[in-house]
Amino acid sequence: MTGIDSVALNFSPAALQALNAILAIVMFSVAIDLTPAQFRALWHRKRAVLTGLVSQFMLLPALTFLLVLAVRPQASIALGLMLVAACPGGNISNFFTHRAGGNAALSVSLTAFATVGAIVLTPLNIAFWGSLYAPSRAILQATAIDPVQVAITVGLMLILPLVLGIVLNMRRPDITARLRRPLQWLSMAIFVLFIVLALRANWTYFLEFSAGIAGLVAAHNALALAGGFGLASLAGLAPFDRRAVTIETGIQNSGLGLVLIFGFFGGIGGMAIVAAFWGIWHVLTGFVVSSLFARRGVVA
């Protein structure tokens, strides 16, 4: 490997544990919005749920692979894009969907369903799509990641706080009502701050390699948003649901991506910088896209 593929970013075990804790808080903030009744209600919106899950776990990875084939980036950058695309939606998608006047309940439930599905689908998508591009296949073969270990990591980090949040919301809704909004803002702020500090600790590499990666991340995120909107439109979803699917596809859990990158890939430079850029960029585009949707009013 040469260039950015041979660079390992500085990320201490303590920082990785801190990121795990942050992601648990983020997932908990999603879960306290959920009740079993919401899941039952979504039975009547099966098409919207299925469209959202297909958009995240099938369409986005496929579009990412086409982007990689078109641009032919270095191996670690390509695998970083594929890994982010294989992750479930991020919790701030729920915040942005609500802000956009979309179906927030659908967004929260999609995040929950996708998080559960990620136990199997995230490692499978990384292995499948990564192996189709020869340079990234070399990294996968060199690291020899165990899909079972990836599944365990995803499960412990995301599913446990999801279950705890739902249980708390069922038993003490008075507490979750007070926690909901402050926790959403706090989790988003802490995550963005963590990304900024991580980039600062690797500022030399960031300056050296950021220019090309920033453009690719922006293109990748635009492709995700456009793909989600396009598939939701083809599925005939109402604007209310289409906004949720669009934002859910364009807001990825890049924090989980960073955990997997440093836990299983040794913090390879291209992968880590891609995931870190995603962590900042999708917050910016989330505000822009939700503002544009909000101007059109709420349409159920």
**Is 299 a domain residue?**
no
What CATH number does the domain containing 270 carry? 1.20.1530.20
- Number of structural domains (the chain) is 1
Give the Å distances, CA to CA, from 262 to 94, 191, 244, 249, 271. Answer: 27, 16, 30, 24, 9
**Is 6 a domain residue?**
no
pLDDT of residue 198: 66
CA distance 146 to 264: 9
Domain that includes residue 39, residue range: 11-293
**pLDDT tens profile 180-225:** 778 777 777 776 777 676 666 666 666 666 667 888 999 999 999 9
Range name among 18-22, 195-199, 223-227, 289-293 with the lowest pLDDT average = 195-199
**Is 300 a domain residue?**
no
**Is 3 a domain residue?**
no
**Is 170 a domain residue?**
yes
Backbone angles phi, psi at 293, to 5 degrees: -65, -45
